Amino acid sequence: MPKMKTHRGAAKRFHATASGRLKRKNPNQRHILTSKNRKRKRHLRLPDYLAAVDEKAMKRLLPYC
Instruction: pLDDT band for 56, please (50, 70, 90 cuts).
Output: very high
Instruction: pLDDT band for 1, please (50, 70, 90 cuts).
Output: confident
CA separation (Å) from 62 to 27, 30, 42?
21, 26, 29
What pLDDT shows up at residue 43? 97
Q: What is the pLDDT of residues 2-54, one digit of tens each?
A: 999 999 999 999 999 999 999 999 999 999 999 999 999 999 999 999 999 99
Residue 47's CB: how many other CB atoms inside 10 A?
Answer: 10
Task: Locate the domains of the chain by residue range.
Answer: 8-61
Tell me the backbone φ, ψ of residue 9, rounded to 5 degrees: -65, -40
Residue 14's CB: how many other CB atoms inside 10 A?
Answer: 22
Task: Tell me the CATH class for 8-61.
Answer: few secondary structures
The answer, yes or no, to whether residue 65 has pLDDT greater than 90, is no
Collapse the DSSP code of 15 into the 3-class scheme (helix H, G, I; strand E, B; otherwise coil) and give the result.
Answer: strand
